Amino acid sequence: QQQVKQSPQSLIVQKGGISIINCAYENTAFDYFPWYQQFPGKGPALLIAIRPDVSEKKEGRFTISFNKSAKQFSLHIMDSQPGDSATYFCAASKGPGANNLFFGTGTRLTVIP
């Protein structure tokens, strides 16, 4: 049973465009929602994360939007660059240092020049 549903599976965006990746969850006990970025041959690296007490968090060109009532959150990459081409995972967990971080299935982003 997939705890976190992620879409789309793949995404192609023109350089300078906006990339949007969506995730949904069911477990209302989740209280931490990170996004990870993974380049080929590397492990996932934490990109940005949000707690449910805020509806939006922005770090540079990356923004998380969080809708607690809809149990959905999304990653927006503004002014997408070819260097952003990677696989992106959303995730959710219950509490700090939880024994499990539930990952989405991943989105392979390609930014074309």
Partner 1 sequence: EADIYQTPRYLVIGTGKKITLECSQTMGHDKMYWYQQDPGMELHLIHYSYGVNSTEKGDLSSESTVSRIRTEHFPLTLESARPSHTSQYLCASSGANYGYTFGSGTRLTVV
Q: Looking at beta carbons only, is 7 or 79 nearer to partner 1? A: 7
Query: Binding of partner 1 at residue 87 (CB under 8 A)?
Result: yes
Q: Looking at beta carbons only, is 22 or 32 nearer to partner 1? A: 32
Within residues 89-108, the interface with partner 1 by CB under 8 A covers 89, 93, 96-101, 103, 105-106, 108
- Residues contacting residue 11 through CB under 8 Å, at least 6 positions apart: 19, 21, 107, 108, 109, 110
Number of residues forming the site for partner 1 (CB under 8 A): 23
- Residues contacting residue 48 through CB under 8 Å, at least 6 positions apart: 34, 35, 57, 59, 62, 64, 75
Rg value, the chain, Cα: 13
Q: Looking at beta carbons only, is 80 or 106 nearer to partner 1? A: 106
Q: What is the DSSP letter of 110?
A: E
Within residues 25-84, the interface with partner 1 by CB under 8 A covers 32, 34, 36, 41-46, 49
Query: CA 79 to CA 12: how far, in whole Å?
Result: 13
Residues within the interface to partner 1 (CB under 8 A):
32, 34, 36, 41-46, 49, 87, 89, 93, 96-101, 103, 105-106, 108
